[in-house]
Structure 1
Amino acid sequence: MDMNQYLEVFIEESKEHLQTCSEQLLVLEKNPEDLSIVNEIFRSAHTLKGMSATMGYEDLADLTHKMENVLDAIRNSKIILTPELFDVIFLAVDDLEAIVMSIAEGGDGKRDVTNVVRKLQQIEKGESLVIPTINETAAASPVLETMEQATMGEYDEFEMTVLQQSKEQGFKSYEISISLRDDCLLKAARVFMVFEVLEKSGEVIKSNPPAELLEEEQFDQKFTVTLVTNESIEETKKKIMKVSEVDVVEITALNLEELRHAANIKEEKKAADKKPQEGTDQSPSINEAKETKKTVKHAPSKTIRVNIERLDILMNLFEELVIDRGRLDQISSDLDNQELHETVERMSRVTSDLQTIVLNMRMVPVETVFNRFPKMVRQLARDLNKKVDLEIIGAETELDRTVIDEIGDPLVHLLRNAMDHGVETPEKRLSKGKNEVGKILLKAYHSGNHVFIEIEDDGAGINKERVLSKALSNGILTKETAATLSDKQIYELIFASGFSTADTISDVSGRGVGLDVVKNTIESLGGSVTIDSKENEGSIFLIQLPLTLSIISVMLVEIQQEKYAIPLSSIIETAIIRKEDIMNAHNQQVIDFRGKVLPLLFLKDIFDVPVQNEEEEFLSIVIVRKGEKMAGLVVDSFIGQLEIVLKSLGNYLSTAFAISGATILGDGQVALIVDCNALIH
């Protein structure tokens, strides 16, 4: 029976069942008396076991079966729940997730699970447990054993084709084995920096372990990548060694002929092994048939997977359509033809609906990233002997897929920092009059055309004096400059490369270590990160991210002969005032706006617009807001509201102040898009 037709359904359903197991285990740990939670976990494990057996993944089915036995004993009150027991079940779930991930990547689902199976059997028999540390568990992992050999193993047909075509075009292919220092903190951050260097030199074809495991730090100190480049071995090695905490780099040139020969031998061996079984009965067992029947009964899938690159192409085509729609609007207005008016209006309605669909296709809930954090925080709390509650709010908030893919690593760094050097130990918290259980709040929400993610802890906060002292000793700033800094500017110093106020090196993190990577990653996405902290009360890291909606609604304004676009999401209202109503306060021109002092910003001065005619008696004001702060942008006139395509200015003009991009208007003119956040800041 061909099981490939069920593979995609199997993988998706397995991920859902494992996610349920992880979430419910965390709930059960806090409510060990609630056996209904055990029943929920048992049902997911039982379903996963049946599906795995049907699909022929023996390691997956065997491990799930052993876990199911333990859960059955728990719900029948034969086994008492203990922290050590939870540790083993979480280890089992980790192994199950790794197997499913391997299958999703085209693997055979094989994994050495004897260690966890043995411990589950010990629990089932009522024997005492010796729980391994994280390092011991990692050392026993077959993934890590593979890495110690520093070999990539096999390449599939697609990868071999890429390597062969690259060779024909004159590129070189290298296998690069990279070892990080034993005392390396935040290994995933260093891996990210290595990949950033390699991607500037060429194209990374493959990594071992895969990128997902590297991101989650599921590897020892060593990892291997295959790179296609036109650089020499010496040039490539020199660039990698510049990354801090990289210890050893070994590079070997790939011999494609040898790889092909090895692959052919393996295929011949497989065929030989399979031949004696050709006469045997290949029909599935009765149990498998039953499970297969269950699978077939599921409602047909109403979703399809679409490569993100295809969505990018669709978005680019739609952007061109929006520009042409604007041009048609302009022509229709100029010609004043009723039939053309009606046609253009209908086209506008249809393209608006199409626009909503195209943009929504790329939106994904941040829940897909947040889901993995509760288990991570639980394990870190165990390792650090701390008590921590993680509260997640706004997991349904949606972000563009490209941002979702990149935001996971920075959030991991910030949560690790909060766990290790934010939240204190229970003893210290009690001595300060706090609850012994620390709290970390992870919150996501929309505001205007941005998504905000907050990570707040009620821990020790940031010691300003220590930060300044470290910054001075590192030569980051002078004593004169230090005396002028505000509290927030002092906190910003911890984003300097390699900056840390940690007294001792920790296995998890040092407050500030890796935050340079966090800041760089978020800014590369067009976002920003800020800090607020109170000593002994806690810290808040606020991440602001764009929705990456390349089509936005704006108010088009005119300054002399130039047109500018102000995003509607930043605008409160527009107004016209008399010039004589302007007052001066602290060298700043202001107006009285409904009882509040509103600062005025003259865009013609900020953007150095040449003045061709004299100022009028009345001024047009666009009132914008960023958080609690407001300002009035002074323009010459309002043109009107329209939807525009946001185009990047490119690297050459990326430093232009208060300009976030540009757009092409219906008449072919280019209008710059005003960054209100930068102006108010």
Structure 2
Amino acid sequence: MADDNSVYRDLFFEESDDNLQTLNDNILELEQEPDNIDLINSIFRVAHTLKGMSATMGYDVMTKLTHKMEDMLDLFKTGKLKVNSDHISLVFKCLDKLQELVDDLRDDKELSEDQITDLWNELDRVESSAEQGEAGGEPKPAEEKHDDGALTTKFEHFDDADIDVVGEARVEGMNAYTIAIRLDKETLLKGPRVFLINEHLEKDGEIIRTEPSADLLEDGDFDTDYRMIYITKDSLDEVKQNIESNTEIDSYLVEEFKAPEEDKEEAPKEETKEAPKQAEPKKEAKPAAKKPAKAPAHKVKNQAIRVDLNRLDRFLNLVSELVVYRNQLEDATNRESIGEINDSLEQVSRLTSELQDLVLKIRMQPVSVVFSRFPRMIRDLANQLHKEMHLEIIGEETELDKTVVSELSEPMIHLLRNSADHGIEDPETRKKLGKPEEGTITLSAYQEGNKVLITLSDDGKGLNPEIIKASAERKGIDTTGLTDREIQMLVFHPGFSTAKKITSISGRGVGLDAVQSKITELGGSIDVESKVDVGTTTVITLPLTLSIIQALMVKIGNESFAVPLDVVERVVMIHEKDIMKTSNREVCKFQEGLIPIIRTDELLQMPPSDSDKKYAIIVKSGKQYFGILVDQMIGQQEIVIKKIDPMLQKIKKYQGATILGNGSIALILDVNAVCNGR
């Protein structure tokens, strides 16, 4: 890999990922709107950009496959190839292969043409049959072409995508030319001759279109004339010198590129005559201040930038330190009562709050970053499972911390696959149940306070408690006394699976327990509601950010701890006489019922307090309330979450640590783990 390209590798990977995702989205839309010519043009532009970037980086295998895919898209455009499910699937195969090639390049693997041979041959078969009329209509009689008369730079077919590429190139200070070349009639090896001519030109620029197509030129399947659009930094004279350095050229023309719209604007001119190789080609008058007809317009719009995450993390650490110093100032004020500090403290508080809000917003990403890949996945699953289903997405603009978004993909894929495989019934079954034959999976996201709720629902067969109970008992899971809802939640039990047949989609007894573990790791919770033959709804609750949170500071014994405020329902004072014992645990009264009591000093193996008075922090874990006992209340405080040592992480009672105003360290309790006794 060339060192010159190493500087641009990261940019290439980012842009390629974006372009491939855009192509996936647009091809999916094209399947629903096969006659949308604007959409096809848009797809062309993105594919052309991807091909150009690959060629610039010297990734020939990727360039070759993208070019072949473009040929197929061109058949869609001309109507020779019908936009149907099979042909769309073939384009998706190309996109998957291109993503595989990008990933290989990212891992510094060498690409081989063997990687694309099978797909290339499949594309070639479809394109050949289309050209012969087998896929798009009646076969057209072969026409013998003879290039007689004046050499011309006029194209028989033109593409808006080329005009856009030229416009963008001109904005970047490049020149665009239309070149026509006539080979000597005695030229025996036309294909290799064209290859050499084009190779010379591409050392100093890029050929973005040829007529006839590149494949025909390569095979020598043309008479003597061919045309191209050429982008370069070279002047017109330098381009001519480049062409003249070749042999077996009868004549040529080089003109400044003009879009068809520009030609129409000007008065008709006498057609340029063919120029002998040594003669000067006729020059067009250069417009003084004329812009290309379709150069990109400079509009005021929202702009997005990519930011190195390491820099963001550094920025966040600085803000975190500021918050720590602010807490120290507040502590000093409380201890010394120095009134002069107050004004400065107010300013520090204001600035740190603004900085904190700013950096958290910078870290925010819309969930569409993850959601955008799912429509394609559901489409492929529908074909694979021989079912009819579609995915509706709501609220994809909802934002979450980048860390949460990046970790969200895997659990969401598990849940979606589960809905497609286990939830949505086959069309015949749905028809018998009086449902539409096409199933609906709905994925929605919305913000509620300082949390984001992600809801995944389907109108499938639901979770049948009887089937789940039978499966659980076969696996030795005790279901005594469990409600239907509690039995349904057993699908998140490690190793649980109701699938009678293991498939590539689901049914290996793993997946949903991993989903729950990942969501819990992100500080969130997961809940399921399901009705037999009606459907299933899974609700995932996630924190907006994992970095700075509001916490309730408490003391257990002589040690300070933090409890995330978003899980706290209320705090009540409690005495030992208020605590009752059942057969297997301690409980206390709350809201006309009894809730379990968690003695944190025993759980954390700390010396018990002598005081009869304690505080019960009422929290909700899943659908159950718990009372977490602490000895003292310090108060509410904004804290910075710091990672803890891997050894402490294994205890699974803490989700991190924070630095207090006096410089001491307090551990942050993992409420879900504490309540479940893990």
Fold shared by both chains (TM-score > 0.5): yes
Task: Assess, with a 3 A threshold, how the Cα gap between structure 1 residues 566 and 7 changes in structure 2: closer, same or farther.
Answer: closer
Aligned partner of 1:644 in structure 2 is 639
- Post-superposition Cα deviations, 1:513-553, rounded to whole Å, max 9, x if no partner, equal 43343344444444444433222222233334444523212
Aligned match of 1:27: 29
Q: Does 1:503 align with 2:500?
A: yes
1:566–1:674: 8 Å Cα contact kept in structure 2? yes
> Do 1:69 and 1:124's aligned partners in 2 also have CA atoms closer than 8 Å?
no
- The equivalent of 1:38 in structure 2 is 40
Encode CA deviations 1:217-245: one digit per residue, 9 max, x unaligned: xxxxxxxxxxxxxxxxxxxxxxxxxxxxx
* Match among 549, 553, 560 for residue 552 of structure 1: 549
In the alignment, residue 43 of structure 1 is paired with which amino acid? R
CA distance in 1, matches of 2:16, 2:649: 44
Alignment-mate amino acid for residue 424 of structure 2: V
Which residue of structure 2 aligns with residue 365 of structure 1? 366
Q: Could you say what secondary structure the match of 2:327 adopts?
A: helix
Give the deviation of 1:564 after TM superposition: 5.5
Paired position in structure 1 for 2:490:
493
Residue 354 of structure 1 and its aligned partner are, at CA, apart by 3.0
The one-letter code of the counterpart of 1:90 is F
2:661 matched to which residue of 1?
666
SS of the residue aligned with 1:482? coil
Q: Deviations over 1:331-373 (max 9, x none)?
A: 1332333443333333333333333344344433332222222
Once the two structures are superposed, the pairs formed by residues 151-166 of structure 1 within 5 Å of their partners are none
User: Does the aligned pair in 1 maintain the 2:596–2:625 contact within 8 Å?
Assistant: no
Question: Corresponding residue for 2:102?
Answer: 100
Give, in whole Å, the separation in 2 of the partners of 1:398 and 1:333: 37
- Is 1:114 matched with 2:120? yes
| Match 2:512 to one of 515, 523, 533 | 515
Query: 1:141-220 residue pairs with structure 2 within 5 A?
Result: none
Please, which of 65, 68, 73 is the counterpart of residue 66 of structure 1? 68
The Cα offsets for residues 14-33 of structure 1, whole Å up to 9 and x where unpaired, read as 33332222112212222334
- Over 3 Å counting, the alpha-carbon distance change for 1:553 and 1:459 in structure 2 is same
Alignment of 1:532-681 (within 5 A): 532-547=529-544, 549-556=546-553, 565-570=562-567, 640-647=635-642, 661-668=656-663, 671=666, 673=668
Residue 90 of structure 1 and its aligned partner are, at CA, apart by: 1.4
Is the counterpart of residue 458 in structure 1 residue 459 in structure 2? Answer: yes
Q: Distance in 2 between matches of 1:387 and 1:511?
A: 24
Conserved? CA contact 1:35–1:75, under 8 Å: yes
Q: CA deviation at 1:318?
A: 4.5
Q: Match of 2:431, as an amino acid?
A: L
Instruction: Specify which structure has the higher proportion of helix.
Output: 1
> Using the alignment, how far apart are the partners of 2:560 and 2:532 within structure 1?
47
Matched to 1:284, the amino acid is D
C-alpha spacing 1:591/1:679, structure 2 compared with 1 (3 Å): same
- Other-structure match for 1:48: 50
CA distance in 2, matches of 1:529, 1:438: 23
CA–CA separation in structure 2 for the residues paired with 1:32 and 1:402:
38
CA apart distance, 1:433: 0.9
CA positional deviation for 1:431 = 1.1
Query: How far apart in 1 are the matches of 2:106 and 2:667?
Result: 45
Normalising by structure 1, report the TM-score.
0.63
Structure 1 residues 373, 578: closer, same or farther in 2, change over 3 A?
closer
Residues 653 and 307 of structure 1: CA distance in aligned 2, closer, same or farther (over 3 Å)? closer
SS in 1 for 2:207: helix
Residue in 2 that maps onto 1:379: 380
Give, in whole Å, the separation in 2 of the partners of 1:650 and 1:4: 36
In terms of mean alpha carbon deviation, does 416-425 or 406-415 score higher? 406-415
Contact 1:459 1:537 in 2 (8 A): yes
**2:522–2:542 CA contact under 8 A, matched in 1:** yes
CA distance in 1 between counterparts of 2:446 and 2:76 reads 39
Q: Is the 8 A contact 1:359 1:549 kept in 2?
A: no
The answer to whether the 8 Å contact 2:205/2:231 transfers is no
The question of whether the paired residues in 2 share the 8 Å contact of 1:14 and 1:100 is answered with yes
Alignment deviations for residues 496-521 of structure 1 (CA, whole Å, 9 cap, x no partner): 44432222232322284433433444
Alpha carbons 1:50, 1:291 under 8 Å: kept: no
Quote how far apart the aligned CAs of 1:386 are: 0.7
CA contact (8 A) 2:526 2:622 kept: no
Which residue among 278, 281, 284 is the counterpart of 2:204?
284
Structure 2 CA distance for aligned equivalents of residues 630 and 515 of structure 1: 24
SS of 1:440's partner is strand
Residue type of the alignment partner of 1:283: K
The letter for the 1-side match of 2:532 is: E
CA contact (8 A) 1:66 1:120 kept: no
Residue 83 of structure 1: CA displacement?
1.5
> What secondary structure is seen at the aligned counterpart in 2 of 1:392?
strand
Please state how far the C-alpha of 1:378 moved relative to its aligned partner: 0.9
Q: Matched residues in 2 for 1:569 and 1:3: separation?
A: 48
How far does residue 385 in structure 1 lie from its aligned partner after superposition?
1.0
Q: What is the correspondence of 1:362-511 to structure 2 with a 5 Å cutoff?
A: 362-474=363-475, 476-477=476-477, 481-510=478-507
How much has 1:326 moved relative to structure 2?
1.3
* Structure 1 segment 10-25 matched on structure 2, within 5 A: 10-25=12-27
Structure 2: how far apart are the matches of 1:662 and 1:7?
38
Deviations 1:277-329 (A, max 9, x none): xxx998324637955669x9999x98455254x65555455444433331222
CA shift, 1:583, in A, is: 14
Secondary structure of the corresponding residue to residue 479 of structure 2: helix
For 2:128, give the aligned amino acid. Answer: Q
Q: Which residue of 1 aligns with 2:336?
A: 335
Say if 1:560 and 1:612, in contact at 8 Å, map to a contact too: no
Distance 1:453 1:512, change over 3 A: farther
The alpha-carbon distance between structure 1 residues 602 and 22, as it changes in their structure 2 partners (threshold 3 A), is closer
Distance 1:11 1:662, change over 3 A: closer
Change in CA separation of 1:79 and 1:654 when aligned onto 2, cut-off 3 Å: closer
Cα separation, 1, equivalents of 2:379 and 2:430: 18
**Ranges in structure 2 where 5+ consecutive residues have no aligned partner:** 136-199, 209-228, 234-291
For residues 424-468 of structure 1, the C-alpha deviation after alignment (integer angstroms, 9 at most, x for no partner) is 111111111111111112233344544443332221222322222
Q: Distance in 2 between the 1:629 and 1:670 partners?
A: 30
Question: Which deviates more, 8-17 or 285-294?
Answer: 285-294
| Mapping of residues 213-252 of structure 1, within 5 Å | none
Residue 271 of structure 1: aligned partner: none
The verdict on how the C-alpha distance between 1:469 and 1:400 changes in structure 2, with shifts beyond 3 A counting, is: same
Structure 1 unmatched ranges of 5 or more: 130-279
State the SS of the aligned residue for 2:480: helix
d(CA) in 1 for partners of 2:600, 2:56 = 71
CA distance in 2: counterparts of 1:675 and 1:604, whole angstroms: 12
Structure 2 distance, partners of 1:526, 1:292, is: 54
Work out the percentage of aligned pairs sharing the same amino acid.
39
Q: Is the 8 A contact 2:525 2:622 kept in 1?
A: no
Contact 1:557 1:639 in 2 (8 A): yes
In structure 1, what residue type is equivalent to 2:121?
A: N
**Over alpha carbons, which structure has the higher Rg?**
2
Report the CA distance shift for 1:634/1:499 in structure 2 as closer, same or farther (over 3 A). closer
By how many angstroms is 1:621 displaced? 9.1
2: CA distance, partners of 1:70 / 1:33: 15
Q: Is the 8 A contact 1:63 1:117 kept in 2?
A: no
Deviation at 1:391, TM superposition (A): 1.6
Q: Partner residue of 1:75?
A: 77
Cα distance, 1:51–1:558 mapped onto 2, change above 3 Å? closer
Per-residue deviation, 1:91: 1.3
